């Protein structure tokens, strides 16, 4: 039985359309799979092995499944490999903010020493440390705002409680130069710990990290000098 020409033409067109669609689907899959393989070169071996198994499994899928699977794999790997800029920025802001609380404690501690000390030389040294701490805070706040954070002018709860305790102690027993120095040594030890913690944060990089390293070095020198001065007080 001869098939009418209109039906025959329609069948040929349908066949051609199917073939063309299949070829496009195959090209899309191969492109997605290729991109996925390229990206796998930038991920850990454990993830790479999982990716290789996934790509091998594609051969057993239908053309439609391959298209969808390849596109999803490429998109998923792009998400995994993409640098977490926002996350790192938030971590850097949090680390700088926390360090600033301790630097602000340092400012308040040395201001208190200036007010309490009766020794002219020591009072002058404490004032230098107030100015130094204020410079530290100004520098760190600059890096903090550049990262999208807000200037931090507060202090730690621990610092607030400690200063309240010092007020109560001074009211009862008074404060001699040795006890003032001892309080400063204690406070500087807090600052050193805060700098160490900040430098363990990998999110802090570049100029901010270098600035923190320099401040940390100066804080250690101050701690050593305060210890020496305490020893001289006898």
Q: Which tokens is 177 given?
A: 């130069």
pLDDT of 104 reads 97
Question: What ranges do the domains of the chain cover?
Answer: 10-81, 85-232
pLDDT computed for residue 68 by the predictor: 52
150 Cβ partners below 8 Å, 6+ apart?
144
Specify the residue for token string 């607030």. 160
Return the pLDDT at 34: 52
Rounded CA separation 201/198 (Å): 5
Low-confidence ranges of the chain (pLDDT < 50): 2-3, 6-8, 10-11, 14-15, 17-18, 21-22, 25, 28-29, 32-33, 35-40, 42-44, 46-48, 50-51, 58, 77-85
pLDDT of residue 29: 46
**pLDDT value of position 17:** 46
φ, ψ of residue 148 in degrees (nearest 5): 100, 5
As to burial, measured by CB atoms within 10 angstroms (0-12 exposed, 13-18 middle, 19+ buried), residue 226 is buried
Whole-number Å distance between alpha carbons of 28 and 74: 12
Give the pLDDT confidence score for residue 87 in this predicted structure: 77
Q: What fold characterizes domain 85-232?
A: Ferritin (1.20.1260)
Angle, to 10 degrees, between the axis of helix 157-173 and the axis of helix 85-116? Answer: 10
| pLDDT tens-digit readout, 98-140 | 999 999 999 999 999 999 999 999 999 999 999 999 999 999 9
pLDDT of residue 16: 53
């Amino acid at each position: 039985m001869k098939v009418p020409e209109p039906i025959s033409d329609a069948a040929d067109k349908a066949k051609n359309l199917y073939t063309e669609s299949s070829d496009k689907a195959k090209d899309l899959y191969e492109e997605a799979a290729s991109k996925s393989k390229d990206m796998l070169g930038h991920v850990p071996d454990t993830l790479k092995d999982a990716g290789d198994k996934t790509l091998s499994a594609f051969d057993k899928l239908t053309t439609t499944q391959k298209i969808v699977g390849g596109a999803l794999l490429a998109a998923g790997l792009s998400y995994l490999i993409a640098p977490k800029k926002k996350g790192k920025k938030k971590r850097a802001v949090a680390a700088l903010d926390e360090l600033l609380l301790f630097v602000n404690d340092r400012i308040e501690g040395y201001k208190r020493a200036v007010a309490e000390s009766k020794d002219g030389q020591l009072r002058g040294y404490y004032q230098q440390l107030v100015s130094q701490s204020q410079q530290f805070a100004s520098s760190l706040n600059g890096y903090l705002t550049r990262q999208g954070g807000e200037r931090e002018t507060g202090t730690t709860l621990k610092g607030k409680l400690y200063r309240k305790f010092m007020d109560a102690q001074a009211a009862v027993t008074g404060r001699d130069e040795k006890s003032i120095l001892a309080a400063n040594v204690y406070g500087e030890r807090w600052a050193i710990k805060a700098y160490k913690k900040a430098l363990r944060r990998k999110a802090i990089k570049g100029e901010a990290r270098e600035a923190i390293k320099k401040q940390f070095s100066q804080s250690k020198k101050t701690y050593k000098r305060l210890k020496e001065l305490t020893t001289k007080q006898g």
